[in-house]
Amino acid sequence: MNVWIAGASSGIGAALAKRYASDGHTVFISARSVDKLNAVATEAEALTGEIKVVAVDVTDNASVLAAVAEIQSAGRIDVAVLNAGYYEPIELDALTLEHFQNTYDVNLHGVIRCLLAVLPNMRAESHGQIAIVSSVSGYSGLPRAAAYGSSKAALINLAESLQPECQAAGVDVRLINPGFVKSPLTDKNSFEMPFIIEADEAADRIANGLESKRFEVHFPKRFTLWLKLLKLLPYGLYLRLTKRL
């Protein structure tokens, strides 16, 4: 099986690449930092599968199209994990248009660029799986995450909108909503992160979830189920609770 992971230089993406390679699959990993990608590939040299580096800048459509064309020249993409992400915790008085633009260009538009690059061939062959990596922060608005959370909420809506039509076309669209996972992104947080897990554990849960029939893969459930309940509350109570965060 050929797997493409966009956003694989560290964290969940890197761990997932090693997990798929350990299962004997060929994994194409992409990000802007070739040095970090090469380090991931080197760490996986003893595994039964193979990791190949294909650099990409998800904010540049030409770069995305070139990367997908390079991968497809080696064989069709069976699984595409769209995991590119950008995160900066920002206080209200520091919000700028540039911050929103930078966040959306990676988290939302970057995923869309990758999606539109792989979807035509998958539809033509009625084959393939596309996993859109969002976040539990997309469930509902949380403090200091106005840009990040809203970009992830858009990805949840995107996956939900695409799934019925793609399923009819033979393409399997999945949604991945992790809680806190140890990574360079979460290292930026100065607050306590409940139920944070290691990237290797997150990779196992994602790989196992994508082999199941579930549309949404979310974890750890002792955290995500609480957040699902939180968003069902009336706004008066919900906003009083989130204010305390």
Of the candidates 148, 151, 182, 183, the residue annotated as catalytic is 148
- Bridge partners (DSSP) of residue 6 are 30, 82
The answer to whether 128 and 84 have CB atoms below 8 angstroms apart is: no
Whether 87 is catalytic is no
Whether 86 is catalytic is no
Q: What is the pTM of this model?
A: 0.93
Of the candidates 134, 135, 137, 151, the residue annotated as catalytic is 134
Could you list the pLDDT tens digit for every one of the 245 residues in the chain?
A: 999 999 999 999 999 999 999 999 999 999 999 999 999 999 888 788 899 999 999 999 999 999 999 999 999 999 999 999 998 888 889 899 999 999 999 999 999 999 999 999 999 999 999 999 999 999 998 888 899 999 999 999 999 999 999 999 999 999 999 998 887 777 676 667 777 889 999 999 999 999 999 999 999 999 999 899 988 999 998 888 888 76
Strand ranges of the sheet holding 26-30, from the earlier edge strand across to the other edge: 50-53, 26-30, 2-6, 79-82, 129-133, 172-178, 216-219
Whether 134 is catalytic is yes
- Bridge partners (DSSP) of residue 29 are 5, 53
Can you give the pLDDT at residue 103?
A: 97
Can you give the pLDDT at residue 190?
A: 67
CATH for 2-243? Answer: 3.40.50.720
Measured in Å, how far apart are the chain's first and last C-alpha atoms?
43
Of the candidates 18, 52, 152, 182, the residue annotated as catalytic is 152
